[in-house]
Amino acid sequence: MSDTIKNISSDLKKFAIERDWEQFHTPKNLSMALIAETAELVEHFQWLTPEQSKSITGEKLTDISYEMADIFIYLLRMAEQLDIDLVSATREKMAINEKRFPANHSDNKGSNQNHKDNKYG
């Protein structure tokens, strides 16, 4: 993980330990919390048009940023619990996707078909 991510992860662990929450921060519980926070993020976009979803400002944008931060926090805690380096895992996944969806392949350009048909995307 990058130094910044390592520092945030360390600060989050310290925060949990100081409150005796570490006992609850299991991969199972954290994955469930991720679902709940993701649902809260989705609520901000429910019923918006695609155009409206791209032009959110002000307090609503701040609220969305906090929901995204909650998701990031739980994801970092889960990565720490499972000893997963998210930066390395992301780079590996990007390399896999480069092979699966080459930019020069015409079927991948401007189509969402691969995403709809692919359970691992």
Residue-wise pLDDT tens digits, 3-18: 699 999 999 999 999 9
Write out the two tokens for 63: 């609220």
Q: Are 44 and 67 in contact (CB under 8 A)?
A: yes
Model pTM greater than 0.75? yes
pLDDT band at 115 (very low <50, low <70, confident <90, very high): low
Question: Distances from the Cα of 59 to the Cαs of 9, 65, 66, in angstroms?
Answer: 27, 10, 11
Query: From the CB of residue 107, how many other CB atoms can be counted at a distance below 10 Å?
Result: 10
Residues carrying CATH 1.10.287.1080, the chain: 3-84
- Residue showing tokens 């921060």: 25
* pLDDT of 54 above 60: yes
Read off the pLDDT of residues 75-105 as tens digits, 9 standing for 90 and up: 999 999 999 999 999 999 999 999 999 988 7
Total residue count of the chain as it appears in this document = 121
Architecture of domain 3-84: Orthogonal Bundle (1.10)
